[in-house]
């Protein structure tokens, strides 16, 4: 049975709603309805709602109805990102992995798996220091597997505003997680392999740098080439290994370590920890040295690497050999309205078994041509100004004129496009003889491999997939905010990067599931939408109740794509 409202017109054009008690019953295989009772006008019955409830309830039972005035919301905490992260964490088996790592050596009353989860999700949802963790725990609903909520402990100590013992717990958690880094990554790889049937044929590897505020740690923190543009800051190098778009391992090196110096250790680790006997190592141009290629051959590993255009004398010759038919590579979709092509052809590489592919990208050509024209124009204007100054007698000493010209050409790669001379006291500049070579480089890049089974198009597609690692670094540095690092201890730096890598793994798992479900939301956009889902604590009469808001339409779409149907957080078990 159920209640139905019907509308009926009254006298003088008035309209009223009436309540009817309706019953459903089966008849000849069909469900029919009949009116059991007409209860009367809705507006006349409303004042007697409380009396009706008491009559319908059994004797002695307390009324389950509470007046709206006695419903008092006490707190609303963000829950959506935590809900999704908890689901992904468990799906990837990280709670089990960390439990097994900790074993019977528990150092604190709370399990390592629960404490590590807090740090990783904080890095994913609201990146900040361990000190800033306390603020996040006040705004977000973060609980362990038993449903007990994590709360900050405030206590002022000068600039530190939280209880030092409480804060130290999280630093100890960092140390404990780092102790098990090798095992965590190894177990995660096998979990990913089984869950997603990874076919490990191509292994992608690249390096980036991240900097420190202040001096940084003594051993790892070194000055080197900064990809963040922070030449005055010490830094570390971080190498990421990815398979089928999944990060399976990362390595932390001194800040002055060169790219090619890291390759052998990474390849050895792939065999030692992951049992990968034969893979095709895909790396960027900085990885290519004759020693590395020889090492890969010796270990019977394959390779597919980019060639540096200006550091090899034979690159220009190889480009000029591309006189045969081009093959078009499948489009991956560029910017809206663009239909740029990528073409490839194989040329003779000059060595036994070595294959070289010349790739021509129309999109890359348009970009590099525009950059070259801008650089040439800026350099030309500066050289014209210098020539005018010499002609007017403002600069007379040849050494000073030469120094000024060198400074101009050192900017905007001007030395690639122009040369200069002083002839009988007059300053002249001219297009560099190598300008035609520079024009030939534009829009081109070269790939080298010894894999005989790869077609030219497959080689280009595999090399383009190296951009997945670059996206990973972008996510680590910008979305998850791995930089800057404030730690001063080598171990804490490594632990900080490990936590960021685990947060990136969760973000990557979410993006892959969203894509599989047909969603075009990025991980970052999905997390933002999920922040509309809250856990609300309310006082209802004399009782305390908890509920979860449904969130925005986009948040509900994310939950649907991820297959999450239960919104409520775990409940703390009652103690008898």
Residue 509: inside a domain, yes or no? no
Looking at the structure of the chain, the number of domains it has is 2
CATH code, domain with 43: 2.30.31
- Per-residue pLDDT at 59: 62
Tokens 């809250």 label which residue? 534
- Asked if residue 461 belongs to a domain, the reply is no
Q: SS3 for 337?
A: coil
Question: With 70 as the cut, is the pLDDT of residue 293 above it?
Answer: yes
Can you tell me the mean pLDDT for 78-86? 96
pLDDT of the residue at 66? 67
Render pLDDT for 301-316 as a digit per residue (tens, 0 to 9): 899 998 888 777 789 9
User: Mean per-residue pLDDT for 442-449?
Assistant: 93
> Which of 65, 81, 102 is the C-terminal boundary of a domain?
65
Q: Which of 39, 65, 91 is the last residue of a domain?
A: 65
Residue 91 clears pLDDT 50, i.e. is over it: yes
Q: Of 14-23, 100-109, 212-221, 520-529, which has the strongest mean pLDDT?
A: 520-529
Q: How does residue 338 score in pLDDT terms, banded at 50, 70 and 90?
A: low
Of 130, 217, 142, nearest in space to 170 by CA: 130
Q: Is residue 380 part of a domain?
A: yes
pLDDT tens per residue across span 173-200: 999 999 999 999 999 999 999 988 887 8
Query: Is 351 domain-assigned?
Result: yes
Full residue range of the structural domain in which residue 36 is found:
2-65
Q: Is 392 exposed, middle or buried (0-12, 13-18, 19+ CB in 10 A)?
A: exposed
Beta bridge partners of 17: 7
pLDDT recorded at residue 514: 95
Average pLDDT over the chain reads: 88
Q: Mapping DSSP to helix (H, G, I), strand (E, B) and coil, where does residue 431 land?
A: strand
**Model confidence pLDDT, tens digit, residues 206-258:** 888 888 877 788 889 999 988 888 888 889 999 999 998 899 999 999 999 98
Cα–Cα distance, 550 to 568 (Å, whole number):
10
The H or E element that residue 243 is part of is strand 235-243
Residue 157 has a pLDDT of: 72
Considering the domain boundaries, does residue 462 fall inside one?
no
Within-domain flag for 434 = yes
pLDDT of the residue at 232: 87
- Say which residues have a Cβ less than 8 Å from residue 525's Cβ, sequence separation at least 6: 554
Query: For position 351, what pLDDT does the model report?
Result: 79
Is residue 368 domain-resident? Answer: yes
Domain boundary among 437, 455, 473: 455
Strand partners, 431: 418
| Domain assignment of residue 256, yes or no | no
pLDDT value, residue 370:
95
The winner for highest mean pLDDT among 125-134, 281-290, 431-440 is 431-440
Specify the pTM.
0.79
In this prediction, residue 335 carries a pLDDT of: 46
Going by pLDDT thresholds of 50, 70 and 90, the confidence category of residue 484 is low
Looking at residue 468, the DSSP 8-state letter turns out to be: H
Closest CA to 494 of 210, 223, 110: 210
């Amino acid at each position: 049975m159920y209640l139905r409202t019907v509308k009926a017109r009254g006298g003088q054009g008035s309209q009223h709603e009436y309540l009817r008690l309706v019953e459903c019953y089966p008849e000849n295989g069909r469900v029919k309805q009949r009116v059991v009772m007409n209860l009367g006008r809705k507006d006349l019955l409303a004042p007697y709602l409380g009396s009706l409830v008491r009559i319908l309830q059994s004797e002695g039972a307390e009324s389950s109805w509470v007046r709206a005035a006695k419903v008092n919301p006490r707190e609303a905490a963000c829950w959506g990102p935590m809900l999704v992260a908890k689901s992904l964490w468990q799906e990837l088996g990280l709670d089990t992995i960390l439990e097994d790592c900790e074993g019977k050596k528990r150092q604190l009353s709370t399990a390592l798996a629960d404490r590590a989860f807090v740090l990783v999700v904080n890095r994913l949802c609201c990146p900040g220091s361990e000190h800033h963790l306390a603020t996040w725990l006040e705004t977000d609903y973060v609980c362990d597997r038993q449903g007990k909520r994590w709360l900050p402990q405030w206590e002022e100590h000068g600039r530190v505003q939280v209880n030092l013992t409480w804060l130290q717990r999280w630093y100890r958690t960092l140390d404990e997680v780092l102790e098990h880094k090798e095992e965590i990554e190894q177990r995660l790889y096998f979990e990913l392999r089984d869950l997603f049937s990874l076919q490990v044929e191509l292994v992608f590897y690249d390096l980036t740098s991240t900097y420190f505020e202040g001096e940084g740690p003594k051993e790892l923190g070194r000055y080197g080439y900064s990809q963040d543009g922070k030449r005055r800051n010490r830094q570390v190098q971080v190498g990421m290994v990815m398979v089928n778009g999944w990060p399976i391992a990362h390595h932390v090196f001194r800040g002055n370590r060169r790219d090619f110096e890291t390759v052998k250790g990474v390849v050895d680790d792939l065999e030692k920890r992951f049992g990968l006997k034969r893979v095709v190592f895909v790396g960027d141009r900085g990885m290519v040295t004759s020693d590395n290629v020889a090492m890969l051959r010796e270990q019977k590993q394959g390779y597919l690497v980019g060639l540096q255009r200006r550091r090899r004398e034979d690159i220009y010759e190889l480009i000029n050999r591309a006189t045969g038919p081009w093959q078009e590579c499948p489009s991956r979709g560029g910017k809206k309205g663009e239909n740029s092509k990528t073409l490839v052809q194989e040329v003779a590489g000059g060595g036994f078994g070595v294959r070289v592919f010349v790739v021509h990208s129309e999109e890359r050509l348009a970009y590099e041509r525009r950059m070259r024209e801008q650089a040439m124009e800026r350099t030309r204007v500066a050289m014209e100004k210098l020539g005018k100054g010499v002609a007017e007698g403002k600069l007379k000493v040849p050494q000073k004129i030469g120094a000024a010209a060198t400074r101009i050409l050192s900017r905007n790669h001007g030395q690639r496009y122009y040369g200069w001379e002083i002839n009988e006291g007059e300053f002249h500049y001219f297009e560099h003889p190598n300008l035609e070579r520079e024009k030939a480089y534009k829009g081109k890049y070269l790939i080298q491999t010894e894999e005989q089974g790869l077609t030219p198009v497959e080689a280009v597609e595999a090399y383009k997939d190296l951009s997945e690692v670059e996206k990973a670094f972008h996510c680590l540095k910008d979305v998850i905010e791995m930089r800057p690092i404030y730690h001063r201890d080598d171990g804490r730096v490594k632990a900080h990067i490990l936590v960021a890598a685990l947060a990136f793994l969760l973000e990557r798992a979410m993006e892959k599931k969203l894509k599989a479900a047909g969603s075009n939301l990025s991980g970052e956009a999905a997390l933002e939408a999920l922040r509309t889902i809250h856990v609300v604590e309310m006082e209802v009469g004399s009782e305390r109740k908890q509920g979860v808001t449904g969130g925005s339409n986009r948040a509900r779409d994310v939950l649907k794509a991820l297959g999450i149907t239960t919104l409520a957080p775990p409940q703390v078990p009652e103690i008898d």
